[in-house]
């Protein structure tokens, strides 16, 4: 603790300072905080393959059949109606009766493994030997808000904890000076907002912390300029009185407990947080690797670089949104839409994989790529594609994932998952498995029921991992 503050408050430690200053809820809540020891890492259930997760969330629904899942039969059938053999569909925009639309991509096999990637992702294509490409993903939601929510929480309805919150609850923190679960968006708000990184019915302290764009990604770390010690003391004294009064009969209120912890964390982050988000000392070559020398890729490249810096410092779960506000939602003119977002994301993601590998971090960091769903093989508005939750692609790299392999398939036109269907709950169970957590053992008692991350489903796809 700062010597001047220690003398000013006549205390010997920062915890004593907060007890006196009133950022907590009095002795009962503070003792509960100390007893819970949230800053202590917790023992995993299983052998650990990954220490951290970086989730690259392509919001809006990238088209698997234009990126990682080529379908020659679709091009041959282009212009024809969807054959009845593929079954009836209820689509988001009612386009199931539209004609099939070709994917005019140039496809190549890459790496020693020969995995297919289209020309839209030339930089990522160089990393296929580190990737498991899951071609058989499926989900339940038709619209963006519900589907983004499910990909984060396991349910299309808001209210459940996000996967990052479950990880924080299950493993604790690996760095008491930084949040365990961090969210990075681009220049628009994520559809559904904070419910996507909420702690749900878990204690509020496990929710994600959103870092903002710009020069101050972590809000409220620095004291307001011009606030004197006396004025700060008056504020903290008032805060103490209010918290003690309000919390006297609310010792089970996890939001209030989370507020206590936020003050504790803010104290620690005044130096560690500022250093973690300061990329001033990164070399020009590193910045260029992430595409920060190009206006189109600078913002997402900055977030990818920041993600590397965070996992390097012990942050367990970092979620990056590319296309916040459904940028990938190509209902019309998919060529322009995906052409743009692929350019925005390709070099930064490839740079992240390269940088992690060069630093020896990829083996301990599970990188996950995907959106809330894929896109249909039939057209919408003539040159776009509708939402497709029945079959789409995600990939994982590092963190124990076996490189250069496919898991599962979709049908001949990329409409439905047919071989080894991998539901959102299976994806979550597999990510938890990599972190050493068994989704069946990771439970929390809520309303008389032992809740778990995958609700009542989920299978671990162990073939993803070497």
Q: What is the pLDDT of residues 293-308, one digit of tens each?
A: 999 999 999 999 999 9
Regarding predicted confidence, which is higher, 1 or 266?
Answer: 266
Predicted pLDDT at 1 = 43
Predicted pLDDT at 49:
98
Give 34's pLDDT tier (boundaries 50, 70, 90). Answer: very low
Q: Residue 221: CB partners within 8 Å, gap ≥ 6? A: 266, 269, 270, 273, 274
pTM, full prediction:
0.86
Q: Number of helices (H) and strands (E), helices first, in the chain? A: 12, 17
Question: pLDDT digit string (tens) for 321-343?
Answer: 999 999 999 999 999 999 999 99
Tell me the pLDDT of the chain averaged across its residues: 88
| Higher pLDDT, residue 460 or 17 | 460
- 242-271: per-residue pLDDT in tens? 776 776 776 666 566 656 555 555 555 555
For residue 252, the model assigns a pLDDT of 63
Q: Cite the beta strand spans of 147-240 per DSSP E.
A: 181-184, 209-211
pLDDT score of 240:
64
How far from 234 is each of 18, 243, 256, CA to CA, in Å? 14, 14, 21
The H or E element that residue 167 is part of is: helix 163-171
Sorted by sequence, the CB contacts under 8 Å of residue 178 that are 6+ apart come out as: 268, 269, 272, 273, 276, 310, 313, 314, 315
What is the set of domains in the chain, with CATH numbers?
A: 1-36+224-276 (no CATH), 49-217+279-464 (3.40.720)
Q: Give one word for 94, left, alpha or beta, with left for phi > 0 and alpha for psi -120 to 50.
A: left
**pLDDT tens profile 59-97:** 999 999 999 999 999 999 999 999 999 999 999 999 999
Q: What is the pLDDT of residue 29?
A: 35
pLDDT band at 110 (very low <50, low <70, confident <90, very high): very high
**Quick one: pLDDT at residue 162?**
98
More confident position, 253 or 459: 459
CA-CA-CA-CA torsion sign (16, 22, 28, 29): negative
Residue 130 has a pLDDT of 98
Q: Given a cut of 90, is residue 99 above it in pLDDT?
A: yes
Q: Tell me what pLDDT residue 387 has.
A: 98
**Picking from 13-22, 170-179, 268-277, 412-421, which range would have the lowest pLDDT averaged per residue?**
13-22
Q: DSSP string of 306-342?
A: HHHHHHHTT--EEEEEESTTTTT--SS-HHHHHHHHH
Per-residue model confidence (pLDDT) at position 19: 45
DSSP state of 449: E
Mean pLDDT, range 436-441, rounded to an integer: 98
> Confidence band (pLDDT; 50, 70, 90) for 177?
confident
Percent of the chain topping pLDDT 90: 75
Average pLDDT rounded to a whole number, residues 422-431: 98
Tokens representing 321?
Answer: 């949104």
Query: Above 50 in pLDDT, residue 7?
Result: no
Is 15 or 129 the better-scoring residue by pLDDT?
Answer: 129
Q: What is the pLDDT of residue 31?
A: 32
Alpha-carbon span 15 to 12, nearest angstrom: 9
With 90 as the cut, is the pLDDT of residue 373 above it? yes
């Amino acid at each position: 603790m700062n010597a001047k503050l220690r003398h000013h408050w006549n205390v010997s430690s920062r915890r004593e300072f907060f007890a006196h200053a009133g950022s907590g809820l009095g002795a009962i809540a503070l003792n509960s905080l100390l007893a819970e020891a949230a800053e202590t890492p917790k023992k995993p259930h299983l052998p650990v393959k990954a220490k951290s997760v970086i989730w690259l969330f392509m919001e809006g629904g990238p088209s698997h059949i234009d990126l990682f899942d080529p379908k020659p039969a679709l091009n041959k059938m282009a212009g024809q109606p969807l054959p009845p053999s593929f079954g009836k569909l209820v689509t988001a925009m009612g386009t199931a009766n539209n004609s099939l639309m070709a994917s005019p991509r140039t496809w190549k096999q890459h790496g020693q493994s020969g995995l297919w990637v289209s020309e839209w992702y030339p930089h990522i294509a160089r990393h296929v030997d580190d990737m498991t490409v899951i071609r058989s993903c499926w989900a339940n939601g038709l619209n963006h808000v519900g589907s983004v929510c499910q990909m984060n929480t396991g349910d299309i309805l808001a209210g459940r904890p996000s996967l990052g919150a479950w990880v924080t609850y299950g493993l604790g923190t690996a760095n008491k000076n930084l949040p365990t679960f961090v969210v990075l968006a681009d220049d628009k708000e994520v559809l559904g907002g904070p419910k996507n990184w909420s702690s749900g019915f878990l204690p509020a302290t496990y929710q994600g912390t959103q870092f903002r764009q710009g020069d101050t990604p972590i809000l409220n770390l620095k004291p307001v300029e011009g606030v004197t010690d006396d004025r700060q003391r008056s504020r903290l004294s008032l805060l103490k009185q209010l918290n003690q009064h309000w919390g006297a009969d609310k010792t089970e209120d996890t939001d209030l407990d989370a507020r206590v912890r936020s003050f504790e964390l803010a104290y620690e982050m005044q130096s560690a947080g500022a250093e973690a988000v300061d990329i001033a000392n990164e070399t020009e070559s590193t910045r260029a690797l992430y595409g920060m020398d190009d206006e189109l890729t600078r913002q997402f490249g900055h977030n990818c670089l920041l993600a590397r810096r965070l996992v390097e410092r012990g942050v367990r779960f970092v979620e990056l949104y590319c296309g916040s506000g459904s940028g990938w939602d190509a209902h019309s003119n998919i060529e322009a839409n995906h052409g743009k977002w692929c350019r925005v994301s390709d070099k930064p993601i490839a740079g992240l994989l390269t940088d992690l590998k060069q630093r020896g971090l990829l083996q301990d960091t599970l990188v996950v790529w995907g959106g809330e769903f894929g896109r249909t093989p039939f057209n919408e508005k003539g040159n776009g594609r509708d939402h497709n939750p029945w079959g789409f692609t995600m990939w994982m790299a590092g963190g124990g994932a076996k490189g250069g392999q496919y898991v599962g398939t979709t049908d001949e036109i990329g409409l439905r998952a047919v071989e080894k269907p991998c539901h959102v709950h299976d994806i979550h169970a597999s990510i938890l498995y990599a972190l050493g957590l068994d989704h069946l053992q990771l439970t929390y008692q809520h309303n008389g029921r032992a809740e778990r991350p995958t609700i009542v489903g989920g299978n671990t796809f162990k073939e993803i991992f070497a």
